[in-house]
């Protein structure tokens, strides 16, 4: 659960080792800010928070996350984003663009504040920059409009290590594997039944 007195920021550190199998190869880290998931990732950031909070960092690519035209379609093995989508005006447009650059068989990994664990917009303690309060099913609904995929991980992350811990979580983690026709979600054909 979120607590005002707990350390804020660097959310990526809470999941980075849990998502290693899904962030391999050519990796985009969308909205990384000063906390890129791994050194080999290509960080993409619009520097909005750098300007607003006088943070000193330089992403690998300065760009709006809804326009990744500098990257070819299906050119990335992995796309990762931590605590970014809730700040963006058009989540579906952004997810479509992140999905576009992802190769078939690649993974989109999202780590987002859970609407039941973090103060909602307008409540005391809420982040004034958030545009959306998401539940896991909200992202699934959007992703059904985006493409064909398997939902590999869908976890509520509410670990509580006590007041003041940098590991306290108030988020959810989702990993989508990009596929073709016949995948588990958002495609016309159901996944074939297991034969053994």
Question: What are the tens digits of pLDDT across the range 72-110?
Answer: 999 999 999 999 999 999 999 999 999 999 999 999 999
Q: Which of 168, 196, 175 is nearest to 4 (CA)?
A: 168
Alpha-carbon distances of 5 from 11, 141, 175, rounded to whole Å: 15, 33, 30
pLDDT digits (tens, 9 = 90+) for 131-140: 999 999 999 9
Task: Categorise residue 106: left if φ over 0, alpha if ψ from -120 to 50, beta otherwise.
Answer: beta
How far apart are the C-alpha atoms of 123 and 127, rounded to whole Å? 9
Summarize pLDDT for 12-71 with one digit per residue, the tens. 999 999 999 999 999 999 998 888 999 999 999 988 765 565 666 788 999 999 999 999
Instruction: Record the pTM.
Output: 0.88
As beta bridge partners, residue 30 has 44, 81
- Give the Å distances, CA to CA, from 78 to 22, 44, 54, 75, 102: 7, 13, 30, 9, 6
**Cβ proximity of 27 and 40 under 8 Å:** yes
More confident residue, 148 or 186: 148
């Amino acid at each position: 659960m979120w607590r005002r007195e707990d350390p804020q920021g660097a959310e990526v550190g809470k999941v980075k080792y849990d998502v290693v199998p899904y962030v391999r190869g050519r990796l985009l880290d969308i909205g990384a800010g000063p906390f890129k998931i791994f050194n080999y990732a290509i960080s993409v950031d619009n520097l909005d928070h750098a300007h607003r909070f006088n943070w000193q960092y330089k992403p690998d690519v300065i760009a709006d996350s809804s326009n990744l035209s500098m990257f070819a379609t299906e050119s990335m093995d992995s796309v990762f984003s931590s605590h970014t989508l809730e700040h963006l005006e058009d989540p579906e447009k952004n997810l479509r663009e992140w999905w576009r650059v992802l190769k078939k068989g690649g993974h989109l990994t999202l780590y987002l504040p859970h609407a039941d664990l973090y103060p909602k917009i307008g409540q005391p303690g809420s982040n004034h920059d958030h545009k959306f309060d998401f539940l896991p099913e909200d992202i699934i609904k959007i992703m059904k409009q985006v493409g064909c995929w398997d939902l590999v991980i869908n976890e509520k992350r509410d670990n509580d290590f006590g007041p003041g811990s940098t590991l306290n979580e108030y988020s959810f983690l989702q990993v989508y594997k990009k596929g073709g026709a016949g995948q588990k979600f958002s495609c016309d054909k159901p996944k074939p039944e297991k034969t053994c």
